[in-house]
């Protein structure tokens, strides 16, 4: 449905996106995961047709994306990272303006405004000014403003930044429900938990480059080990645990010894070894590697610190 072919975007001497190629599948919930400055918003605005690439192409259903084509514009909904609403107008008035931009009018517009206010749980507040809304309410209104014209593809650029946990969950459920009904979603975030929870496929982006792409399971196979044992220092005592290297690669941090298990290692044999070394089971945690580990593996830095 949407494809990027070797898309590059520069701001002066800075390359914000570097030869990014990507094909979206209809109906998927695609995540774009990367730290601040990675190029997520740049990619989103290129896909929304708000910016043009310096080289490469963005194709929507096989056609180059140009905003002058109302038929192409109508297929897309874009939720920008920065809330784009008229603060001094009511929720309803805002939706009326956005609806008209997409060519809706009359009874159809009225009906869609009602449906979108309901979906955003803002029917009771429809006549209140947006500046009186909480961050979460503004976010929800910002999302439905992009859905009035019933696009088949929704682009959401970090829609939960500055949102309280309860509203965040409401946004997740809302987007997941729309996705189940067939909406294709592209969702950018710098929270690996969000990508893990929501997305059927994830692209990892840093410094304008798409570093890895796949389902969560596919991505994690990039890591040398599938499972990690973490042994707290209080349990392990000081120093290395003799013979642990025979089960995988060992790293010792300030508060733990971490063993990345070699393929086909039997956990029972590791636990037997630890028991012999006098390490209590309570000091051992088994962890599956996550996207944070993958990001560290790909870039040498933590997603959180980036």
Using rule CB under 6 A, residue 40 touches ligand ADP: yes
Residue number with CB closer to Mg ion (81 or 152): 81
What b/e readout covers 200-230, taking b as 16+ CB neighbours within 10 angstroms? ebbbbbbbbbbbbbeebeebbeebebbbbbb
Region of 35-43, 97-105, 255-263, 268-276 interacting with ligand ADP (CB under 6 A): 35-43
- 19's CB contacts (< 8 A; 6+ apart) are 6, 7, 8, 56, 209
Using rule CB under 5 A, residue 160 touches Mg ion: no
How far, in Å, CA of 66 to CA of 223, rounded? 39
Binding mask of the shown chain, residues 31 to 50, with x at each position contacting Mg ion by CB under 5 A: ---------xx---------
Minimum distance between the CB of residue 291 and ligand ADP, rounded to whole angstroms?
16
Residue 235's binding partner among ligand ADP, Mg ion, none (Cβ under 5 to 8 angstroms by kind) is none
Sign of CA dihedral 301, 17, 61, 148: positive
Q: Which of residues 46-105 bind Mg ion (CB under 5 A)?
A: 81
What φ, ψ does residue 53 adopt, rounded to 5°? -70, 155
Q: Which residue is nearest to Mg ion (CB)?
A: 41
Q: Mapping DSSP to helix (H, G, I), strand (E, B) and coil, where does residue 222 land?
A: coil
How far, in Å, CA of 5 to CA of 298, rounded? 23
- Tokens for 235? 């349990």
CB 250 within 8 A of CB 264: no
Residue number with CB closer to ligand ADP (270 or 291): 291
Using rule CB under 6 A, residue 37 touches ligand ADP: yes
Q: What is the DSSP letter of 241?
A: P
List the one residue from 42, 142, 160, 257 that touches ligand ADP (CB under 6 A).
Answer: 42
- 170's CB contacts (< 8 A; 6+ apart) are 121, 136, 140
Using rule CB under 6 A, residue 36 touches ligand ADP: yes
Region of 33-41, 118-126, 130-138, 252-260 interacting with ligand ADP (CB under 6 A): 33-41
Minimum distance between the CB of residue 48 and Mg ion, rounded to whole angstroms?
13
Residue 149's binding partner among Mg ion, ligand ADP, none (Cβ under 5 to 8 angstroms by kind) is none
Using rule CB under 6 A, residue 16 touches ligand ADP: yes
Residue 16's binding partner among ligand ADP, Mg ion, none (Cβ under 5 to 8 angstroms by kind) is ligand ADP
Residue number with CB closer to Mg ion (44 or 220): 44
- Tokens for 205? 């982006």
């Amino acid at each position: 449905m949407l494809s990027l072919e070797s898309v590059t975007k520069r701001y002066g001497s800075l390359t914000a996106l570097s030869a990014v190629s990507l094909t979206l599948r209809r109906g998927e919930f695609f995540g774009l995961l990367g730290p601040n400055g990675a190029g997520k918003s740049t990619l989103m605005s290129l896909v929304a047709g708000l910016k043009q690439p310096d080289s490469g192409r963005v194709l929507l259903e096989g056609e180059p994306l140009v905003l002058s084509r109302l038929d192409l514009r109508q297929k897309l909904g874009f939720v920008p990272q920065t809330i784009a609403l008229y603060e001094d107008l009511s929720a309803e008035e805002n939706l009326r303006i956005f609806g008209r931009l997409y060519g809706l009018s009359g009874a159809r517009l009225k009906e869609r405004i009602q449906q979108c206010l309901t979906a955003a749980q803002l029917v009771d507040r429809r006549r209140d000014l947006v500046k009186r809304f909480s961050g979460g309410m503004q976010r929800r209104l910002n999302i439905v403003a992009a859905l009035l014209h019933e696009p088949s593809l929704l682009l959401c650029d970090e829609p939960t930044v500055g949102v309280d946990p309860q509203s965040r969950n409401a946004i997740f459920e809302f987007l997941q429900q729309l996705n189940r009904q067939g909406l294709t979603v592209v969702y950018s975030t710098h929270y690996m938990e969000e990508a893990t929870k929501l997305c059927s496929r994830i692209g990892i982006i840093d410094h304008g480059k798409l570093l890895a792409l796949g389902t969560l399971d596919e991505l994690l196979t990039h890591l040398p080990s599938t499972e990690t044992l973490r042994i707290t220092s209080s349990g392990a005592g000081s120093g290395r645990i003799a013979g642990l290297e025979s089960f995988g690669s060992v790293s010792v941090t300030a508060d733990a010894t971490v063993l990345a298990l070699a393929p086909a290692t039997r956990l029972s044999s590791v636990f037997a070894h630890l028991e012999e070394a006098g390490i209590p089971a309570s000091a051992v945690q088994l962890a599956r590697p996550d996207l944070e580990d993958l990001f560290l593996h790909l870039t040498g830095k933590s997603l959180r610190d980036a």
